[in-house]
Amino acid sequence: MTDEPDHQPGEAGPAKAEVGVGPWEGELPEGDHWDPDLLADGDRRNVLDKYRYWKHEAIVAELDSRRHNFHVAIENWQHDLNIGTVVRTANAFLAKEVHIIGRRRWNRRGAMVTDRYQHVRHHPTVEDFVQWAQGEGLAIIGIDIFPDSVPLETYELPRDCVLVFGQEGPGLTPEVHQAAAATLSIEQFGSTRSINAASAAAIAMHAWIRRHVFNQHV
């Protein structure tokens, strides 16, 4: 026996809930950060409620005023599909910047438009990326499984750093491994040897947040 559909053939299904808010009601607010078009037409963007009706550049400026000290980088030699998800997570944890090493083009679908609010920088080569990081005084921290990797769970992440992730499958290149101040592994307890690169990125970013925002020492 199968479940009965909640509507008859030929009838419209349940209406989808609208995202965001409609046109502003009442007296219009004052301030340069308000977007006249959004106030008039409604704001259907995927943003926090406090940013409703704000101009895009005003949201970015507010985020820039309080971004965290860590950066995120991911190698992109084979059009890695995880990059969009990494960008979305970096936006959620308010990373300073996301860095794409290798090919400039990447699949933005997984970012869910968050790349509009997150600074993304491209480096054509590992050498270019390393020179940039050293010039900024950032510790390069690789996240991968190598014989010399140490557990992320017990490592004291530096405040000023760039967390680097390799592609699904091959992982970090030898060039990034050599340039890293440390490479960290994430402890696995099941049958698989590794986890998805986007999942690893989320875990590592949250580890930085726990240490430097909530002051939770290892």
3-state secondary structure of 54: strand
Q: Could you give the CA distance from residue 159 to residue 162 in angstroms, rounded to a whole number?
A: 9
Of 48, 53, 55, nearest to 24 by C-alpha is 53
DSSP-derived pairing of the beta strands 182-185 and 139-143: parallel
Q: Is the pLDDT of residue 22 over 90?
A: yes
Phi and psi dihedrals of 17, rounded to 5? -70, 135
**Tens of pLDDT, residues 99-140:** 999 998 888 888 999 999 999 999 999 999 999 999 999 999
**Per-residue model confidence (pLDDT) at position 140:** 98
Please give the model's pTM, rounded to 2 decimal places. Answer: 0.89
**Per-residue model confidence (pLDDT) at position 15:** 60
**Per-residue model confidence (pLDDT) at position 100:** 96
**Per-residue model confidence (pLDDT) at position 16:** 65
